[in-house]
Structure 1
Amino acid sequence: MKTLQRHRRRRVLLLQTTILPLLLICALSMAKERPSFELAKGINCLDKIVLRESRCRSAEVYLYGGHVTSWKNENGEELLFLSSKSIFKPPKPIRGGIPLCFPQFSNYGPVKSHGFARNRIWEVDTSPPPLPSNYSSNAFVDLILRPTEDDLKMWPNNFEFRMRVALGCEGELTLTSRIRNINSDGKPFSFTFAYHTYFSVSDISEVRVEGLETLDYLDKLKNRERFTEQDDAITFESETDKIYLSTPTKIAILDHEKKRTFVIRKEGLADAVVWNPWEKKSKKISDLGDEDYKYMLCVEAAAIERPITLKPGEEWTGRLELSAVPSSYSSGQLDPRKLLH
């Protein structure tokens, strides 16, 4: 009997000192890998993902369009512009936030304007391939889009479009897109792409964009004629629709009134689109308010001039990181240059 009791005590001690700690370590490891998001119902009962960070920062992503519609800082301030007239009813795309332009930017190609990714229902990706360690975040969701029969009729290419939306510990918002050619017939395909980001600004007349000076651009208001930017910074007094070419990896948007600077960091996206419809065009856009142009600015990380070409089995990655920081002032001018290096 005493021998049996000793064996039982040894098994209990073994369980307490080795097996239970190992189980706890495994549970903690799984908790770290599990994305911290919640599935909720959004406008018109569309499914959305809510990401939250420990300091009350948050982001929202609709499965319709894989569309980020909200990005809030620690004070609950909305950093993205979303039109109050946005319909939130398929097949109309959501107006504002971060629409995805794929497989075609604008209407320059065989597919409808800005492609079909922003008009499709995405799925939560439960088994995504791993990302590099420097892409890690505790608040994230992985989404996936595969072509429908209608998509294949418009654009006859099999693909997998995976995207991770992540909210960092400093409140930065990161979108990492991975597009893979899975054609079985050996055929390559080419596409253009943009993160069509609408930033919320205090007054478009008080905003400037830095980091694009001296660069060439295509002016969409002048039949995509090519020009070189002559100004020290981009400011706004009328409708603007330009595609800047071979842009740096960092761009800054300075909001004088809010004393805020948006910093755009991008990888795999050579171009940048700057767009504001101004008063006349705003009145022609049914899901945009007549005065909305004053409070929004689109600066889009994009790949347009040189389309991305993938052979079967190849994958492209395009990454966008957005952060909002207080602006510093010097003689009444915003000074973001330290942010751009």
Structure 2
Amino acid sequence: MNEMSTPERRPVEVVKTVNGLEKVVLREIHGCSVEVYLYGAHVTSWKNEHGEELLFISSKEIFKPPKPIRGGIPICFPQFSSLGPLELHGFARNRLWTFDDDPPPLPPDIANKVFTDLILRSTKDDLKIWPHSFEYRLRITLGPGEDLMLTSRVRNTGTDGKPFTFTFAYHTYFSVSDISEVRVEGLETLDYLDNCQKMERFTEQGDSLTFESEVDKIYLSTPTKIAVMDHEKKQTFVIRKDGLPDAVVWNPWDKKAKAMADFGDDEYKHMLCVEAAAVEKPITLKPGEEWRGRQQLSVVNKLLDA
């Protein structure tokens, strides 16, 4: 981790926070910032150079393990949703990650970027519920122009000769002005599995996605670029992804929002999850093999076509 010469403004620092949890704060030279908790390797804040928050965190969130954090960017691994034998969205978001002392090599374009490398390894307790040895390396990079990149590397470290299979998502909660003013482009005409309709498969008919009720869809074989347009803010989030063929779109709407203890009754109006994911076709790794999945987020202060 690099440090600037002025001690009062370091680009990477570790801060002790509520309930004894630690978070890493990344600051880019123009003023944008990212905060990530070691608990869950969970990004909880992404602010632009004006200090405006770009991610949604529920006002009801209490940051108290073993409960996962509601909002930001949870890591869903080794299982997305309840589509398998594990707890909802797997266990990576409920574990304490550590700093990686043997991170992957730096890319040549790392200048003017700040980053941190975290790692999660399987424990004896994890092996009881998911009997597969793994190492999960996560690099969180904040670049010029407010770009936020999450790069995941999962390796099968088993010595039993057996492959393992997992599903995955970056469960990104975007902060929006009003869900009725938001549209998503890049998913038109695609097939999706509708979790509100018992995972039946449908084909998207609209020119773009708009929102008038609960949505919980897994879009399949999606493009590498998706745009989330907030008309009231005249702002566009751009999601670019690699190694993650699917995209999940989720908003609980009013009834489910009221049923969640860690979610405000009206907060569904101010968030939308659009998640780079690998769900339909699980990833299989043989011993020694590594999978890499990346999500890059950027924000443009105007409306764009995807």
TM-score, shorter chain, exceeding 0.5: yes
1:211 and 2:211 correspond: no
Match of 2:49 among 62, 74, 81: 74
Equivalent residue, structure 1, for 2:279: 304
Amino acid at match of 2:43: V
Shift of 1:148: 1.8
Contact 1:144–1:160, Cα closer than 8 Å, also in 2:
yes
Equivalent residue, structure 2, for 1:247: 222
CA offsets per residue over residues 107-161 of structure 1, 9 Å max, x none?
A: 1111111000000000011221214435666310000001122211110000000
User: Which residues of structure 2 form unaligned runs of 5+?
Assistant: 5-9
Contact 2:3–2:12, Cα closer than 8 Å, also in 1:
no
Equivalent residue, structure 2, for 1:199: 174
Distance in 2 of aligned mates of 1:50 and 1:142: 12
Residue correspondences, number? 300
The alignment partner of 2:259 has SS state of coil
Match of 2:27 among 33, 42, 52: 52
Match of 1:158 among 123, 128, 133: 133
Larger radius of gyration: 1
Amino acid at match of 1:89: K
Match of 2:259 among 259, 269, 284: 284
TM-score, normalized by length of structure 2? 0.95
Equivalent residue, structure 1, for 2:7: none
Aligned residue runs from structure 1 range 1-341, under 5 A:
36-134=11-109, 138-328=113-303, 336-337=304-305, 340=306
Distance in 2 of aligned mates of 1:161 and 1:135: 21
Distance in 2 of aligned mates of 1:215 and 1:136: 38
Distance in 1 of aligned mates of 2:109 and 2:221: 25
CA offsets per residue over residues 231-284 of structure 1, 9 Å max, x none?
A: 000000000000000000000000000010000000000000000000000011
| Closer/same/farther in 2, CA of residues 117 and 73 from structure 1, 3 Å limit | same
What value does the CA root-mean-square deviation take over the aligned residues? Answer: 1.4
User: Which residues of structure 1 form unaligned runs of 5+?
Assistant: 1-29, 329-335
Distance in 2 of aligned mates of 1:181 and 1:172: 30
Amino acid at match of 2:234: K
The alignment partner of 1:65 has SS state of coil
Contact 2:29–2:112, Cα closer than 8 Å, also in 1:
no
Distance in 2 of aligned mates of 1:109 and 1:131: 35
CA offsets per residue over residues 288-330 of structure 1, 9 Å max, x none?
A: 00011000000000000000000000000000000010124xx
Q: Which has the higher helix share?
A: 1
CA offsets per residue over residues 188-207 of structure 1, 9 Å max, x none?
A: 00000000000000000000
Distance in 2 of aligned mates of 1:135 and 1:186: 36
Distance in 1 of aligned mates of 2:111 and 2:176: 29
